[in-house]
Amino acid sequence: YHAAAFTDLKCNDIKKFYNTNVLGTEHVLKSALKHKIKKLIYTSTLSVYGPALYHVPITENQPRLKSIDNDYELTKTMSEELIRSYINKGLTCCILNVSRVYGPGPNTYSNGVNKIFKKILNDKILVVPSKLNIEANYVYIDDVIDAQIKALIKGENGENYIIGGENVDYEQLFGMAKQVANNNIKIVKINYKLLKALIVIQDKLSKLLFLKPLVTPKVLDSLFTNRSATASKAVKTLGYQITPLHKGIQKTIKFLNTQPL
């Protein structure tokens, strides 16, 4: 299995992305080929496909028609191309394109969905951009682990499998989390264009002062891009099963209730 990646979209140094996501992957591929590993499972991201087109859920066959938005997407795309070159050399490998993961786990910068759930659980006010009709696909962590195991057994060489869950927009996601958390948090919407302008200013000031920004325009754009998708290929081919979103949120909120504020 190769699941390591540098994912911090706030980082402006492409070398950090390249060294981990491309060079690091190449080290794994070389070693796997040298030692004749029977099968390698590579964990990639749904975002290599770009946005969902015309609100049609992303599939493994969707061509990318929009330019790459950030260094993470770029280097994960490069790593997939690298994998295909090693498959041509004789390596057996399949790729899992994972959507937005949530569920019990460590509090890291890449676990943005859990951070939102924690705010809904504990805060009184949640300030969000006004574009709450943007859809994305959310997958429970246990499903991702299950997919890794099933891909090792049934995954076909050279194939991509989208590993996802349900498609919902932010309005629906926040509504479910509020209901489960039983917290009457007030959600305050700020005009998206105004918020982005403020983030651009903050980003430029951060660069001048050599500080890490709280959020960048690229992060905002990535979060508010339609990424609805379907995992039907994995369901049919791997026997992959999806945890219902409401059930997954219940388990996640229960876990977050046990964590320090």
- pLDDT means per 10 residues, the chain with 261 residues, are 93 94 98 97 97 92 89 97 98 98 89 94 93 96 98 98 98 96 93 93 89 85 94 98 98 94 74
Check if the beta carbon of residue 228 is closer than 8 Å to that of residue 52: yes
- For every residue of 39-80, DSSP letters joined together read -EEEEEEGGGG-SPBTTBPB-TTPPP-S---SHHHHHHHHHH
pLDDT at 219: 87
User: Rounded to the nearest 10 degrees, how much is the dihedral formed by the CA atoms of 156, 239, 3, 166?
Assistant: 130
pLDDT at 22: 98
Domains present along the chain, CATH in parentheses? 14-256 (3.40.50.720)
Is this structure's pTM higher than 0.85? yes
Handedness of CA 41, 228, 50, 60 (dihedral sign): positive
pLDDT at 42: 98
The residue whose two tokens read 């320090």 is: 260
Edge to edge, what strands does the sheet with 40-45 contain? Answer: 40-45, 93-98, 160-163
H helices within 89-169, ranges in order?
112-122, 141-154
**How many CA atoms are closer than 13 Å to the CA of 143, on its beta-carbon side?**
29
Would you state the structure tokens that stand for residue 242, as one six-digit string?
């999806």
Would you state the structure tokens that stand for residue 204, as one six-digit string?
């430029």
H or E, element range at 125: strand 125-129
